Amino acid sequence: MQRYFVKDMNNKIEGQDAHHIKRVMRMKDGDQIIVCAHKQCVLASIKINDKDVSYQILKTLDQIEMYDVTLIQGLPKKNKMEFVSKYATMFGASSIIFTGMQRSIAKLENKEHKLKRLQTISKEAAELAHRAYLPYMNMEKSIKDIDFNIFDEIIVCDEDEEQVALKAITPLNKQKKYAVVIGPEGGISDQEREMFKSLNATFVTLGTHILSTESASLSVLSFFMHENNK
């Protein structure tokens, strides 16, 4: 069943979503969709009147409580940013923050344009994955611009770590806010390691093989998904 995210439950669907309903899906009066806003989803019946699409709520849907995981991704190249935006959304990240790090190859330019593009990709991924809400997404020029004090636990995925595996962060707590840090193509610098050590971060290995920057987060997020389904 098609799922659409709206700003508010005001019984209207507008813009590209309305176009998708009418022109792409070719829906008719009475067809059912799922509408989501403010982390709540409802089953609804639509009504099409010329250019307008409205809906009537049939029932409120139950939602599964997920872990609050913010992905802090060292700024990668453009196509890799799109990959991360899509799949980190599908794998359950509650927030995605791209940030410049000392070894980042890419530079943070045209922020507003890039952010809008990535948010569109994330929205499509959230609809496909049947998420209840869209992840918050932002870009920061430097990792020093991020307030790590808002997190209860910081997890740094480090290729230099050989002993501590992901299971070391269990048991997980759904009342906690987790931050997962992934370095850019060049990895995490020694100076950044020292900064995270001062924040009492947990350094973990993702296994024997070195993963690319755009795929590393999926290993961690899938771990949270697995724990959530226990």
pLDDT tens, residue by residue, 80-138: 999 999 999 999 999 999 999 999 988 888 889 999 999 999 999 999 999 999 999 99
CATH number of this structure's domain 3-60, picked from the four choices 2.60.40.420, 1.10.540.10, 3.40.50.720, 2.40.240.20:
2.40.240.20
Q: Do domains 3-60 and 68-228 have the same CATH topology?
A: no
Helices (H), ranges, the chain: 15-19, 78-90, 111-129, 190-198, 213-228
* CATH number corresponding to 68-228: 3.40.1280.10
Segments making up each domain of the chain, as ranges: 3-60, 68-228
DSSP string, 50-93: TTEEEEEEEEEPP-----EEEEEEE---HHHHHHHHHHHHHTT-
pTM over 0.85: yes
How far is it, in rounded angstroms, from Cα 196 to Cα 178?
Answer: 14
pLDDT digit string, tens, across residues 131-160: 999 999 999 999 999 999 999 999 999 988
119 with 146: CB under 8 angstroms?
no
DSSP state of 114: H
Per DSSP, the three-state class of 119 is helix
Report which of 230, 90, 92, 98 is spatially closest to residue 167, judged by C-alpha positions. Answer: 230
